[in-house]
Chains A and B, each alone.
Chain A
Amino acid sequence: MVARTLTLPIDERQIHELVIGDTVYLTGTIYTARDLAHLKIKECLERDQPLPINFQGAALFHAGPVVRKTEQGWELIVIGPTSSIRMEPYAAMVGELGVRLLIGKGGMAQASRENFQRHTQAYLQAAPGCAAQLASGIKSVRNVYWLENGMPEAMWVLEADRFGPLVVTMDCKGNSIYEEVKSRAHRVLQEIYG
């Protein structure tokens, strides 16, 4: 088990080096995106409209924070991962955008495994329900887009400093801890109840 800090944006070579089970911390800019942000990105692409940011080498965090507006700007209160499986329909789109890392909980499915291999991406599991702890790795809120979709669904631009711990649970070689664990669990289930 290796623990390392990656600085964003990151390149293909760094993704290739990630091994299932590695512990990773992230420093640099992180973008949040849940269902409605993905829909919005899709809409922009379909209408040939420019995207507000360049996703090449980016880390996309499946999350909706709790934030507060102050005179100095947005203040992050807490942030934690949401269920990534809801974003599975966008696997190809996110790969084509150049996103390298996805952060969330619960993992993703077959389309993501294929796209992770095709576009050299990896998935990082954040500790679920640990929003106060994870917030300690976010230094500031730099910007927000699409706030009209509500606080959770807006795309928040966050500045991270050793954000984590995150565990590599899906790599760019087609491996997925979730699939391994589920296959084993299915076998056990068969043994118990037939």
Chain B
Amino acid sequence: MNKYMITYDEIVDLVHKASTSISADVLELMHKALAAERQPHAKAMLQTMVDNVEIAAALDKPVCQSPGIPTVYIRFDDDAELEDLVAFIPKAVSECTGKGYLRPSIVHPLTRKNSGDNCGRGVPNMEFQYVPGQPYLEVILSSKGCGAELGNVSTILTPTTLGKDFVGLKKLVLETIVKAGGIPCPPTGIGIGIGGQMDVSAKLSRESISTRDWRDTNPDPLLAELEAELLGNINKLGLGAAGIGGDTSCLAVKMATAHTHTAICPVTINFHCWVARRFGVRMYEGGEREFLFRGGN
């Protein structure tokens, strides 16, 4: 038995929950968007969206047919024994696919042959982060639809194109959002990774929008200010739910940085659909559990 007493059933439960419901913070923001919406078509879309979450829960069905690429964020300390966890995750994804909770959507990138169980080389994607001294093992499973991926942008800005007051970055974010329009299933969450080299900015962009509470405030004051400014300005664009015009286009902007080289400023803009299927658990020694994103249930 490992220190945190990880069981296969609890990993299955995590995958199941991250298919048939959305995280409590995002659902709260969706209800707020619905209440505030003034454009009738967008309001009807938002109403269908929140109704859909209820129907999926009542019928124990997937909220959305598109599971995206199952991604798991694992934050571990010195004592964590990850062998069981790493074995349980693909097995649980495969089992939940067989039960109809996840559509088999993973294919070879060139031949396009479907593996049939949402597993394959590099899938589920497991992202490990070593956190020395952390008194628990944290596992967050995140599913986001791949329509969101179609609008994503990675680019390398320079000290010049970053611009005064970061206006180059801000314009890039808004232009990317206008270009994507309704494709990423708005209202979206926007993850922005800045710094490192291209790969680092891309990883940070997904991690920030997939693992943070969409209502939180960034502890870095500069990023907190930028997140608030961008969120406000994105919602002035009027793209609206489904991209057919409305008040709320975006529910949250989450940014993360890493230091970078003096010559470059890598930026990745990562869309997250409103269907934020993600759930997490912190496993403590002796079997105690703290659940993330589940709200009241």
Contacts and interface: CB of A to CB of B under 8 A. Distances in A.
Real binding pair: yes
B178 A185 contact: yes
B91 interface: no
Contact of A83 (B113, B150, B236): B150
Interface in B31-84: 40-41, 44-45, 48-49, 51-52, 55-56, 59, 61-66
Interface in A155-193: 165, 167, 169, 177-178, 180-182, 184-186, 188-189, 192-193
A179 B155 CA distance: 25
Contact of A85 (B65, B112, B183): B183
Nearest to A134: B52
A171 to B, nearest CB: 13
A185 B237 contact: yes
Interface string A91-133: 0000000000000011100000000000000000101111111
B40 A129 contact: no
A129 B52 contact: yes
Given A77-B61, A80-B66, A181 B243 contact: yes
A66 B52 contact: no
Given A77-B100, A107-B243, A181-B244, A129 B44 contact: no
Contacts of B41: 1, 21, 167
Given A181-B240, A189-B171, A66 B185 contact: no
A122 B171 CA distance: 33
| Chain A at the B interface: SS class | mixed
A83 B44 contact: no
Nearest to A1: B40
Most buried by B among A86, A134, A177: A177
Contacts of A150: 104, 107, 112-114, 116
Interface string A126-145: 01111111111000000000
A178 B65 contact: no
7 contacts: A23-B44, A105-B147, A125-B182, A128-B274, A131-B52, A149-B112, A192-B174
Q: Nearest 4 CB-CB pairs, A to B?
A: A150-B114, A129-B275, A106-B183, A128-B185
Given A128-B186, A193-B233, 19 more contacts: A64-B105, A66-B102, A67-B100, A77-B100, A107-B181, A128-B182, A128-B274, A129-B52, A129-B185, A150-B107, A151-B105, A152-B105, A181-B240, A184-B237, A184-B245, A189-B171, A189-B237, A192-B174, A194-B167
